[in-house]
Structure 1
């Protein structure tokens, strides 16, 4: 009988690709979801449906520890792509506490490993998302379960925000836009994850094959959108008053503002992985085959 792998966050962009890759390699997948119906529907940004790829379903609520007890029973390993971005849920409740509850169950049932999809530079971020992810990564490093931490530089799906802005005829960079990023396709990241499942505790910084500055990303988005470039250069000095205002708006606005602005300030370049290129992906998103991809503006769920 093939090894059972628990996948948390299976309904999100990365989680769906992970399930697909595991199933293709012959693993038995136990998917943790909030809705099986939604998981079996087409996924975000061309990510696959999970119909026919999952051996066992468990409907869970990551904020309710009682629904997570025993999810690891009979499994060999766990992969967590669990996390929130734009939802109303608190990153502390999901990214940290939700994953911590999963880790406790993994320890209780003696799993061989827990692979966590983190984010590059989580240790230096001030947003609640980054602090929650970093806090869990530190807890995982101290666990008796072998902890494998994958730090993506960013996802192809994230870059669709630049395309959405370009379609509306505007874009912006922070300063001269020279900070660099090499986002990775979800399928390439999933293949990397599955290839490293059986390795001992480790941490990897990964990205895609294309490294661009944020200015170059904006220019690419305008070319694909077929719009005249209107790129506003935002002075770094405006960050503090913007964050001050966001902090006094709501916890959700504060978190999103900090997460987004901080991502534009520093290089986020991981080891180039995979061969899927960014420009063809964005062109497919811009003009998707009929019925094949959801509009990026309609999908915000990550877990």
Structure 2
């Protein structure tokens, strides 16, 4: 019987793929979820159902620390893809405090390793999401548990928004759109997670096999959508104004605006891994117009 691995964020895009990859590799998975029913349904962006791939279900609420007590009991390792971007919860409460409470339980039960799916350049951003992720990664580095930090460049699921906007006839770039990124498919990232999880502590910047500038991705999205390119270029003044307005709309809107605008303005290229390519993925996204 294989080792028990606790997976946090199991119903998210990366978490779902991680559960399937761990199960296929012979590990037993303890999935931490808010809803088993939701976890056993197909996920967004063609992410798989967890039905039949989980050995042990734990219903948790990361805002209530008591629900995380002993979730790591008898487990050998932890994989955390836990985090929020568009959900209503505070990134500080989930990305930092939720992961911190899970790490504390992992330390109490002396797990061998804790692999955390962070994001490339989390030390750069000023959004609450980036600051929360960076803060937890720093705590994990100092833990007695072997900390493994995987920093993806971005996900195929994130780039779906470019296509959805292009189908509406619009797109935008920060500046000339020259910043580069190599997004990765969740299944390729999950295979990398399984490969690194049983090894020593470390930190890895990773991405998919294709490197694009944001302008190139916008042009690809318009080509797939069959629409003439109509790009809005956001200069420093526009991005600052949008950030100012978003901050005064609500903390959640302000965080999202900062997170996405800052991401579009900086190179985020990780070591290329995996074989799944972005263009075929985008062409497979259903047109629901």
TM range (shorter): over 0.9
Matched with 1:130 is: 130
Q: Is residue 130 of structure 2 the alignment partner of residue 113 of structure 1?
A: no
Shift of 1:105: 0.1
TM-score by length of 1: 0.94
Shift of 1:236: 2.1
Tell me, in whole angstroms, the C-alpha distance in 1 between the residues paired with 2:135 and 2:57: 28
Tell me, in whole angstroms, the C-alpha distance in 1 between the residues paired with 2:256 and 2:15: 22
Shift of 1:46: 1.0
Tell me, in whole angstroms, the C-alpha distance in 2 between the residues paired with 1:34 and 1:54: 14
Deviates more, 1:70-79 or 1:36-45: 36-45
List alignment gaps of at least 5 residues for structure 1. 288-294, 298-303
Moved over 6 A (4+): none
Matched with 1:214 is: 214
Count of aligned residue pairs for this structure pair: 289
SS across alignment from 2:11? coil
Q: Deviations over 1:211-264 (max 9, x none)?
A: 000000000000111111111111123222221222122100110010010001
Tell me, in whole angstroms, the C-alpha distance in 2 between the residues paired with 1:192 and 1:261: 28
Tell me, in whole angstroms, the C-alpha distance in 2 between the residues paired with 1:266 and 1:83: 21
Shift of 1:144: 0.3
Tell me, in whole angstroms, the C-alpha distance in 1 between the residues paired with 2:148 and 2:270: 16
Tell me, in whole angstroms, the C-alpha distance in 2 between the residues paired with 1:174 and 1:116: 29
Tell me, in whole angstroms, the C-alpha distance in 1 between the residues paired with 2:59 and 2:175: 45
Alignment of 1:191-202 (within 5 A): 191-202=191-202
Q: Which has the higher contact order (CA 8 A, sep 6+)?
A: 1
Tell me, in whole angstroms, the C-alpha distance in 2 between the residues paired with 1:137 and 1:54: 27
List alignment gaps of at least 5 residues for structure 2. none
Q: Is residue 19 of structure 2 the alignment partner of residue 19 of structure 1?
A: yes
**Partners of 1:225 and 1:286 within 8 A in 2:** no
